[in-house]
Amino acid sequence: MNLPEKYAYMATGQPYNDLDPLLIQRRDRATRLTDELNATADPDAKATLFTALVGSAGPRPVVNPNFRCEFGDNIHVGRDFYTNYDVVMLDGAPITIGDAVLFGPKVGLYTSNHLIDPTERAQGGCIAKPITIGNQCWLAANVTVLPGVTIGAGTVIGGGSVVTHDIPEHVLRPITAADRTGFAGQDLI
């Protein structure tokens, strides 16, 4: 069950009521599904549960525990998506992730933010802006991505970074021969 169309305004960056009963119900659903997802070690069951949780997912998602999301409906991932441990996605607005993207431990994608004014915040006021991550990106451990950010294809975000603005493709530097080790997926043990 996806959020009804009337909730599309949440992704516009305009204030919405985070205490809306349907939003609370959808968060509870996401908590139940992520609890189930995190409790199984069966890769096929994990892929099935993840696909049921999110808006769309390409083949071969790998999702390690303890994955958490706010709704799930607004998350769209491409093929060969990999999340390490303790990844959090607050998807009040769409989160779109390309193919062959890797997340290190404790990556956080936060489309939603509470309003600054304390009275509005206490009444449930929030805003949300989409996050987009291009193909073949790697977000290393403890990366935080804030609302409204786009990260271009092929980009590596270093551990502990807080991404507050758009990042173009293939940043931080070109990959050179010095970065290559000769690894070809062979069994090295």
Residue from 53, 78, 52, 80 nearest 68 by CA: 53
Peptide bond just before 66 cis, omega within 30 deg: yes
DSSP β-bridge partners for residue 38: none
126 Cβ contact list (under 8 Å, min separation 6): 15, 16, 17, 18, 92, 112, 113, 114, 115
Q: Is 114 a catalytic residue?
A: yes
Which one from 76, 114, 165, 170 is the annotated catalytic residue? 114
What does DSSP assign to residue 88? E
Helices (H) and strands (E) in the chain, counts: 3, 18
Q: Is 96 left (phi over 0), alpha (psi -120 to 50) or beta?
A: beta
Cβ-count burial of 56 within 10 angstroms (0-12 exposed, 13-18 middle, 19+ buried)? exposed
Residues that are catalytic: 114
